[in-house]
Structure formats: C-alpha cells, structure tokens
Chain A
Amino acid sequence: MGRQPQPSHSHSRIFFKMNASQNNTINKRNRIVIAIASILLLAAFIFPLWQIRLQAPQYPEGLGMNIWVNSIRSLHPHNIRTINDLNHYVGMKPIKPSSIPELKFMPYLLIGLSLLGLAASISGKRSLLVSWMVSFGALAVGGLVDFYKWEYNYGHDLNPHAAIKIPGMSYQPPLIGSKQLLNINATSIPYIGGIAVIIAFGIGIYVLVKEYRKHKVKKPHFTGF
C-alpha cells in the first residue's frame, strides 16, 4: 500500500462506478465458503445444539439432556424421566419435549436459513448475503432469548404444593456455564450442532466483512491499471 501513490478522489469514484455491477456479486471463493457455512448449519440435524448436564453426589455417572433442533433427548437412557422425577420435589413442571412448539418449527427455520445461504452462494448476490446474515442474527438472538425464557419458566413457575419449598430459591439453569442448584450442579453449553451453527455464523460475518472491505481495499488496485 505504501509503495503505491494514493489515488485521487475522482479516480476512485470512476472506478467504483465502473465496477459497481461486478461488486454486487460475491467473489467465487467466498461463494464457496458461504455454501460450506450453509451446509455446516445442517450439522444441527446430526448433532445436538445444546447440552445440559447435571452432577449430584448420588449420580456419579451424571445426568443430562441434549437439545436438538427438533427434540430434547436424554443424555443417558431415561435421564429426562429421572430429571422430571427429581424436579417434582421442588415443584418444577415436567419437561415434555412434545409440548414445546419451538421444536416443531425450528427445523424449518434452520432449513430455510441454510437454503437462503445457499441461494446467496449460488446467485452470488451480495444482497442475499446481507439478508442471510440479518435473518441468521435475528434467529440466533431470538432463539437464545426463547431458550432463556423456557429456562426461566421451568425454574420459576413452581407448584405451590411442592414438598420442598425454599423461600427465594429458583431452579433456573444457566444459559451458558455452571450453576449450583441445591444438590445439583447444572452446566449448560453449546454442543456440536450448536458450535457448528456458531461457526457458520462466524463464517458468514467474516465473508460479509470481507465483501464489504473488498471495495475499499480494491480501490488502490484499480488505480494501478
């Protein structure tokens, strides 16, 4: 950069305009990267998004559940049943995956998101890339808020007739990280599917930034002709 003389303002404007149509398309390498990220999203159909693990003295083998895009499943066989058994003493509602509507439409949202990314990749339209990332971001934030809300409700909406009542105590597991809830240490972390989604999002941001920065960076090159 330092070796090249700085371009004059008028020059850059001309070249920018000249290349405008070209710059609305994503470069080939980035389009491949976007395709990979879109497909990576589908890893959430193969691996759980999130994992909640519970440790207690009498459960040396651990208890837990995996949150999938369309279901919640026991980490070890029948763990959800056991967790519900234990939770009923403090008045928590049983976790019934079939009664969580999000699990019904989340797969479609994820497929839609993946298709949108693929559309951006195939068409090469920068506008599609932008809308992909905007909807991705919105869904991610919305998803986490929703997850927090479910956790909040499970932890706070307690049966007033529960056998064990501790004033001021709620049993909301953490969104991310560990928390001691009576005898149980609850740890909540994104799992392979979730990590794949985070990486896909990261890649999307990276490409977007790169695409955006391309114009600025490319200016000196054009003056060089």
Chain B
Amino acid sequence: MSDYKPFKTILTGGMALLLAVFIFSGCSSSKNHTANDDAADQVYVPPGKHDEFYSFMSGGWTGNISVYGIPSGRHLYTIPVFSQDPTDGYGYTEETKALLNTSHGFIPWGDTHHVEPSKTDGLYDGRWVFVNDRNTPRLARINLKEFRTDETLEIPNTAGNHAASFTSSNSEYVSAMSEYSIPLPKPLGNGTDVAIDSYAENFKGMCTMVKVDQKTGHLNVDFQIELPPFDYDLGRFGLGESKDWVFYTDYNSEEAHTMLEVNASQNDKDFVLAINWKKAAKIAHQGKGQVVSAEYDHNVVNHKTGWAKTEVKKKVRVLQPSDLEGAIYFLPGPKSPHGINVSPQGKYISIGGKLSSTVTVYSLDNIRKAIANHDVSKTIDDIPVLSFKDVEKEQVKKAGLGPLHVEYDGKGYGYNSAFISSEIVKWSLKTGKVVDRHPTYYSIGHLTVPGGDTRKPYGKYLIGLNKITKDRYLPTGPEMFAGEQLFDITGDRMKLLLDFPVEGEPHNAAELPASLIDTAQVKYYDLDENHNPYVTRSESEAKVVRKGHRVDVYMTAIRSHFMPDNIEGIKIGDEVHFHVTNLEQEWDIPHGFAMMGMRNAGILLMPGETRSIVWNPTKKGVYPFYCTDFCSALHQEMQGYVRVSSKNSNVKIAYGTNKEL
C-alpha cells in the first residue's frame, strides 16, 4: 500500500522534529507553569477603574468579535458581526437583517478570523475595526463609537477568505484573499461547473483590493488580481519604508485539490506573494484588466434611518499578473509558511515556517535590490520569482517547533508563537538570536502585542491565543472556552501574568488604548435625529395600522410601560410588524421586547432607537408581551397583551394603554 508512505514519512519526521525541539529548546520549560505572586498587582483593576486597553478578539466560529479589557482580561462586550444574535435581535430585526445578505442568500453565521484596526500614518486611529468572514467571503467594518457592525461586503470570485482584513498604513485599502482557489466564470475562466481534478487548469486564486472611503468608511471592491491556484494563507501590509507593499504567504504551490495535508506538503519551498498595491492601484485606475460581470452584495447601515440596505453589485475589475509588471513578485518562502508580519519600521518581514523550527526573515532592502538586479529564477503565471538567497536576511533558528506568527515590541525584538512545541520565543531582530522562551498552555496560535502591527507598538503586554484549553480552568464538559495568556514583556524575560478564558476561537486580536475609544462612545440615540421610517417619537403618536394582512404596530417603550399595551384585532395569517421605539434619552436604559410564541427573536432597543420585528401568529389567543431588560423598579409591570382572533373574525383593530378598548 504505497498510500501509507507519505503518512509514515510525516509521522517519522514529526517524531524526529519533536525530539529535536526537546533538545534545542532545552530545559527552559519547567519554570512559570503558573504566574508569579506579584502578577496579581499587575492585572488587578480595582472596582470602578478601567482597563488600559481594549482587546478586540475575533470569535472564529462564533462569527463575532469579543471585546476584553487588558490587563484584567474582563469580558466587556460581544459585537455581533456575521452571526445572528437572538439576544439583541441583530440579524433578526428588519433594520439589521440586510447586513447578512449575500449572493447565496441570507447567511446567518460566519467565521471571523482577523481583526484589524484602521490606521492613520501606520498607527491606530480608533475609527473602525475590520474583520473577515472566512466561510462566505465577506469583510465587515465595525464602528468604534457604537461597537456595531456598520457594513458588510461580499467578495466575488473568492473562496476561503482567510488572508483578509489586513489594511494599509492609512487604511486606503483593506485586502481580501482566497485561500481556496475556485474555478472562475467566463470570460475569466472556463465556467464554474468544471471537474474538480481540472484544478491546475481551471482553478484560480484571487486577491481583492477593497477601497475605504476615508470620510464614511464605506468599502468598495476597487480591483482584483487573478493568481495561480495556491492557498493564500495570511498577509500584512507594509509599514514605513515598505508601506506601498502588501505581502501574503501561500502554501499548496503543488496545486493539490485533495488530501492537502500530504499533497500540499511536498515542495521544499512555498512562496510569499509581494504586491506593490500602490502601483497596482495606479495600473487598475488606468483602465487595465477586464471589467467582468459578477454578483456580490454590499450591505450598509444608514445612520439616519438605522436601516441596513443591500446593494447588489454587478461588476468587478480583474487584473492579470501580466498587467502588473514591476508590481507583483513571488519570493520563495519556507515550506508551508503560515503567518507573515512586518516589523514596525517596515524593514523586515518575518514568516513562520509552520512545518519547521525556523522563522525566516526577509529584508526590504534585499527585496528591492533583487528587483533592481532582476534576480529572477523563473516566472509562475507571469509572476517573476525572486531568488531566495537574495531576499532573505536570516533564519531565526530554534524558534520552537511549528512557528506560526510573529509580533514585535518596538524595542528590536520579535516574538513568535510555536504551535507544536507550545511556546513563545523571543529573538533579536538585529542578531536573529533567541533570547528568551516561555511555555504556553496549550498550542498557541496567534499572539498579539498591543499595537504590534503598527509603526509604534505599545509593547508592555503580549497575549498568547491558545488553541487548546484542557485543564487550565474548571472543566465544562467536552467544549471549553479558549484560554488566553497575558505576559508582561517590559523586562528581559517574559513574565506570565494571567490566564483568561474567552468565547469562540480567537484567531487574532488587536489592542487599542482605551483613550483612543472610550470618550467617543455614543451613549444613546437622539430621538430628534431618529429618522427610522417607523419611529414613534411620542406616546401620542403610537398607533396600529392595518393594510390588508399586514399590521404595523407603532409602539413606544418608556419606564415602565408600552404604548399601546393592549392590542386587539390581529388575525391568524396576519404579518404583524412591531416597530418599537425606546423613548428614553438616557445612557444605559435599554428596553426589551419579547412576545410569547415569537419564532423570530427578542429584541433590545437602545435609548432613542427604533427596531422592527415581524411576528406571524398561527394560533388564536391572547399573547402577553413584556420588557426583557430590567429597566426600573416597575420592570415586571412593563407588559401587555395582544389578542389574536380567527381569520374570519370581525374583531376590529383597537389599541391603547390605560383605557378601555
């Protein structure tokens, strides 16, 4: 059975590597199984005091972003992004439903991966964070004044949108990228319904440059670049000197389409794709490439009305590598690379050699020289491949087994996570020598230093995002929250401060200083500026209107009653739209609206906000509804009744609060 051979090789290889790691990572791992006693002081945020940083963690398969305070590790909030949230009605209310529209229809879930804050001059500016859905290729923009999703954009001609939501130094662009290549429709390809084993011939990768409107933040697919069918894994825009460039790792240069764990792990070297996005944009704007038909949804919240609307986009400009002379290169990378991270000044680009024990560091100067000298070993689909020796600066040896990602502290050190040997390794950018290592519990994926992807990292802390939790907390059955670990990196040695569990599976995180965000928070919505078409600005405007089978209930909520709270005249088969306006104009006084038998969702209404939810009653009866958010001493009394009569009944619409119907 020759099929077993690759497995055997991998297994033996893996064993050997594990042994090797044991030897060269030495005996450093017996220390720091738990934090030092004085760590408590460093993470203790007294009652009533605030954390120093907000940490935005992608939720992975939760489809959301979770927000934590650092250094306390306290869970502050969860922002629904690509997944419906039945607790506040996100994706269920008429206002928010459109945010989850795609060309495949309504998709109520997602897989968030990389949270990337907006930047100005290579520094966080606190305007937005961007995040990608890997599954249904989408990008989202979150506004940091409300901690709400403002916009989602589907990415056409793309699948497995993993290397995404990275943004340029001034957030001119956010990029999206295919991990899974797919066949492209005509005229780009031979159509989408082709044999899977025609992969090499028909499948293509796709890089997408999404332009960000600097005023509104609105996203727009500016252009795409068709690529060879490799798996593009991660990426980063340059900083400082390299700010015009964007770099992506890729594996599967073997172009395998089945049993990738083996078949995509055969070549000794894979690639890093380097694109001069500024040049590429210029070329695209000169009208190069083809504008082809496509179908992808762009969903944007109108802040005046509170409604998200879907615009179906029909066109996209696609460039070929041959259009991009001097703007696109392959750099040979380590075998099956994973993370790629640019140093704060933009001079060095580090790549985690997922299946090795080294981090490869490229130098921008060397890349420039190689380009100037045309040190091209070959071309792949019109993309010149620069020679490896010419672009490499150094290999960081003993970087643990399975190095994945690198973060920088701004003081000349890189920190890489090592998944297989479960540790963080600190090394000097100058010498490439390892200076410290610390075990993690267990199997660390991404790691993050506050501001670690900016020109000026805040340093101070490092958070390891572990993939395996096991015995670190009280067990909760087979599934547990992911375990994150906070380190102090101000000294020569990393110091473990805190373990804290987080929901979902954070694939990466970004920390913004509290001062960049906290004072700008919206506390409530001004009723006078609520232009929702179904707003009810005062109790005297509350009404119930029937139009055929559709009944619109214009309802208000205020401490501690609804207006109207008694409604009659609803019939089976009606489509009842409750438009509930929270009349409060005060911070943190939301009301909820919940209806017995509601198959849709409960909703939460922020002060001054209107939300609409649709109810299709199917059985006769009197249905109580109530406020779900403990709003006042008379919260329990905040309730009402809707009477549902049979289809042919002649009960007339009648409604009111504190009056006989």
Q: Give the interface of A toward B (CB within 8 A).
A: 61, 77-78, 81-82, 85, 89, 163-164
Contact = CB atoms under 8 A, between A and B. Distances in A.
A168 B633 CA distance: 21
Contact of A85 (B526, B559, B587, B637): B559
B494 interface: no
A18 B556 CA distance: 79
Nearest to B524: A78
Contacts of B584: 82, 85
B585 A82 contact: yes
B606 interface: no
A51 B403 CA distance: 64
B633 A78 contact: no
Interface in B415-436: none
12 contacts: A61-B587, A77-B526, A78-B586, A81-B585, A81-B586, A82-B585, A85-B559, A89-B632, A89-B633, A89-B634, A163-B633, A163-B637
By Cβ-Cβ distance, the 8 closest A-B pairs, closest first, are A78-B585, A82-B586, A81-B585, A85-B559, A163-B634, A78-B586, A85-B558, A89-B633
Interface of B: 526, 558-559, 584-587, 632-634, 637
Contacts of A89: 632-634
A181 to B, nearest CB: 15
Given A81-B586, A82-B584, A89-B632, 11 more contacts: A61-B587, A77-B585, A78-B585, A78-B586, A81-B585, A82-B585, A85-B559, A85-B586, A89-B634, A163-B633, A164-B633
Residue from B558, B586, B587, B633 whose CB has the most chain A CB atoms within 10 Å: B586
Contacts of A61: 587
A77 B527 CA distance: 12
Contacts of A78: 585-586
Contacts of A164: 633
A82 B583 CA distance: 10
Residue from B526, B559, B584, B585 whose CB has the most chain A CB atoms within 10 Å: B585
Contacts of A77: 526, 585
Contacts of B558: 85
Nearest to B608: A78
Contacts of B633: 89, 163-164
Nearest to A183: B633
Contacts of B632: 89
A23 to B, nearest CB: 60
A89 to B, nearest CB: 7
Contacts of B526: 77
A81 B558 CA distance: 11
A150 B558 CA distance: 26
A164 B634 CA distance: 10
Nearest to B633: A89
Nearest to A61: B587
Contacts of B637: 163
Nearest to B558: A85
A78 B632 CA distance: 18
A118 B559 CA distance: 51
Nearest to B559: A85
Residue from A78, A81, A89, A163 whose CB has the most chain B CB atoms within 10 Å: A78
A217 to B, nearest CB: 60
A82 B523 CA distance: 14
A77 B587 CA distance: 11
Contacts of B587: 61
A191 to B, nearest CB: 23
A61 B523 CA distance: 12
Contacts of B559: 85
Contacts of B585: 77-78, 81-82
B550 to A, nearest CB: 33
Contacts of A82: 584-586
A81 B539 CA distance: 14
B45 to A, nearest CB: 17
Contacts of A81: 585-586
